[in-house]
Amino acid sequence: MGAGRGVSISLDGVRDKNLMQLKKLNLALFPVRYNDKYYVDALASGEFTKLVLLLRASHDATVKPCLSDGLVMGNGLFAYARVSTNTPVYAFKDFAFRGFKLCASLPSSFYFSACALCLRLLLRITYVMSLFMISYYSDICVGAIACRLEKKEGGGQVRVYIMTLGVLAPYRGLGIGTKLLNHVLDLCSKQNISEVYLHVQTNNEDAINFYKKFGFEITETIQNYYTNITPPDCYVLTRYTASTTKK
């Protein structure tokens, strides 16, 4: 019986019971040590603070076709099927009928998933490039975004301050940071929040360029903002909606 590894990514809210995950992540990612107020603000922000969980799975890669009816089947907790993008539309409808949901797409193939225990899975082998069953899984926290909701002076409008956004080094370049930032920006759009801002160390060109791709711009330079790192200066990066007038 062969074994392999599969991964998927999900966002999870921060609560009292998993707050320690955010604390450990911050210790690994940042040279700054955050006080209790940081974590109080993160919890209070609700959906604006998220952890990224990487699902690690072991699977049985020896699922075999049933020769009598041209179907494949297997046992396990979950099943994933890799299907060519050239698969006819009616076959996708067949997958949906059997309880499969699209969970990922690549240039040459789609991945569908379903609960194997509930379905006793059957798929038409003609269109299935590979099928494997999840036998166990665990998740690890590999990144997070933490925000604070602030009321603007002189009014009841709210703006979002991104306190931290970070991803562990081995998992960078996978679009995780983009997923986290887009999550916050989408929430701002839905809630009519017109301003998002953050502080970035002046020599952190990678971070500055990353945020600029999402419409952030340098709106202020603060000297000696940091106390225990060099250089101590920071930029304020701000993103406004089109209807917001910068002051």
pLDDT value at 5 more than 80: no
Q: What is the pLDDT of residue 81?
A: 63
Residues 240, 15: Cα–Cα separation, whole Å: 29
State the catalytic residue, choosing from 34, 137, 199, 226: 199
Q: Which of 90, 166, 172 is nearest to 124 (CA)?
A: 90
pLDDT value at 224 more than 90: yes
Residues 61, 70: Cα–Cα separation, whole Å: 18
Q: Which of 158, 145, 141 is nearest to 207 (CA)?
A: 145
pLDDT digits (tens, 9 = 90+) for 108-162: 666 666 554 434 444 444 455 444 444 444 567 889 999 999 998 777 789 999 9
| Between residues 128 and 221, the one the model is more confident about | 221
Give φ, ψ of 205 to 5 degrees. Answer: -65, -35
Does 187 map to a domain?
no
Is 161 considered catalytic here? yes
CB 83 within 8 A of CB 110: yes
State the catalytic residue, choosing from 161, 171, 225, 226: 161
Does 218 map to a domain?
no
CA distances in angstroms from 207 to 23, 42, 204, 210, 212, listed in the order given: 21, 21, 6, 5, 9
Does 113 map to a domain?
yes
The token pair at 80 is 């994933």
Look at residue 113 and give its three-state secondary structure.
Answer: strand
Supply the pTM of this predicted model.
0.66
User: Strands, DSSP E only, in the chain?
Assistant: 3-13, 50-60, 65-66, 71-72, 78-84, 101-105, 109-115, 123-124, 128-151, 158-167, 195-201, 217-222, 234-240
Q: What is the pLDDT of residue 106?
A: 65
Does 51 map to a domain?
yes
The token pair at 12 is 């999870």
pLDDT digits (tens, 9 = 90+) for 15-50: 999 999 999 999 999 888 899 999 999 999 999 999
Residues 46, 42: Cα–Cα separation, whole Å: 7
pLDDT digits (tens, 9 = 90+) for 148-173: 999 987 777 899 999 999 999 888 88
pLDDT digits (tens, 9 = 90+) for 53-81: 876 654 444 344 333 333 334 444 455 56
CB 95 within 8 A of CB 112: yes
Does 211 map to a domain?
no
Structural domain count, the chain? 1
Is 199 considered catalytic here? yes
Report, as an integer, the average pLDDT of 217-224: 97
Does 245 map to a domain?
no
Residues 166, 113: Cα–Cα separation, whole Å: 29
Does 217 map to a domain?
no
Residue 10 domain boundaries: 1-144
